[in-house]
Amino acid sequence: MEDGSGADGEGDNPTAVLVLDYAINNSNLPIPTIPAEVGYLGHGPGARFATGMLGNAGITVECMDAGIKAGEHVMEFSQIIDVDQLSQALTIVDMAEVHLLPMSRMLGFQLKLSGGNKWKVRVAADRKKHHTPNARLARTSAHDTFYEYNNHELHEIFVPHLDTMRSTIVVSNCIVITVLFEVDDKTGKIRWGDGPHPSPPVYQRRIDMVFHNKYLARLSVRSGFCVLRSAFCVLRSVFRVP
């Protein structure tokens, strides 16, 4: 990326830096080996970690634009943490100290897929505490049931206008995936389990999609949830909405 130029002698803005891979490498979070059949977000540790977390929730993503090219950044990953932990994380300025919070403090995550790419998102209809991120998640058998979401398609939606509701045709672009983990009522922490590849128990999954047309700049249709005293600690791997 190029440096941003300051206006009216304000000086240059800081250079944008991709921090997700640094944060993963400096953390104690497990980085899985992802089978190629599952579909992935790239080869870096951050992309593999995100893919593993999606697989644990029974979710796979597939880029329909002939795969992801080397050096192409198509997602934004956000760790959901307690607001007190967020305040501490925002004080870090040294790249060598950038890290994700420990597993027990990670309440969930949010993954945004760039609206500039065409995506297929598949969610296993059976919501388990753990799914195994393997090849079965990437294909449908006679006994599997999936919900499928695709962007870059036309949709008819209804929007409020004065005292009425009106329909309009829009195109979908950005897809937002939110996963919450189960919190231990006694400790207030997340139980990731044991073994070489521990995973957190999944409490809730949500798929949001952003729509737009020349009249409506952006509209996100979603199901709501509430997490008390939580915040998003954003670690971005460039995300653009056209």
pLDDT in single tens digits along all 242 residues of the chain: 334 444 444 455 555 667 888 888 888 888 877 766 666 787 788 888 999 899 889 898 988 887 676 667 788 998 888 877 777 777 777 777 788 888 888 899 999 999 989 999 999 888 788 887 655 555 555 457 888 999 999 988 888 888 998 888 889 999 999 999 998 888 888 888 776 667 899 999 999 988 888 876 555 554 433 333 333 333 433 333 33
Task: Give the residue from 23, 111, 11 showing the smallest Cα distance to 61.
Answer: 111
Q: Which long-range contacts (CB under 8 A, 24 or more apart) does 18-23 make?
A: 18/73, 18/236, 18/237, 18/238, 19/95, 19/98, 19/235, 19/236, 20/44, 20/46, 20/77, 20/235, 20/236, 20/237, 21/45, 21/46, 21/237, 22/95, 22/98, 23/98, 23/99, 23/100, 23/235
Q: What's the pLDDT at 138?
A: 53
Q: Using an 8 Å Cβ cutoff, are 201 and 129 in contact?
A: yes
Q: Using an 8 Å Cβ cutoff, are 122 and 59 in contact?
A: yes
Q: What is the pTM of this model?
A: 0.78
Q: What's the pLDDT at 67?
A: 66
From the centroid of its chain, how far is CA 138?
18
Q: Using an 8 Å Cβ cutoff, are 242 and 173 in contact?
A: yes
Q: What's the pLDDT at 214?
A: 80
Q: What's the pLDDT at 224?
A: 37
Q: Using an 8 Å Cβ cutoff, are 171 and 138 in contact?
A: no
Burial class for 207, CB neighbours closer than 10 Å (0-12, 13-18, 19+): middle
Q: Using an 8 Å Cβ cutoff, are 151 and 174 in contact?
A: yes
25 contacts: CB under 8 Å, gap ≥ 6: 45
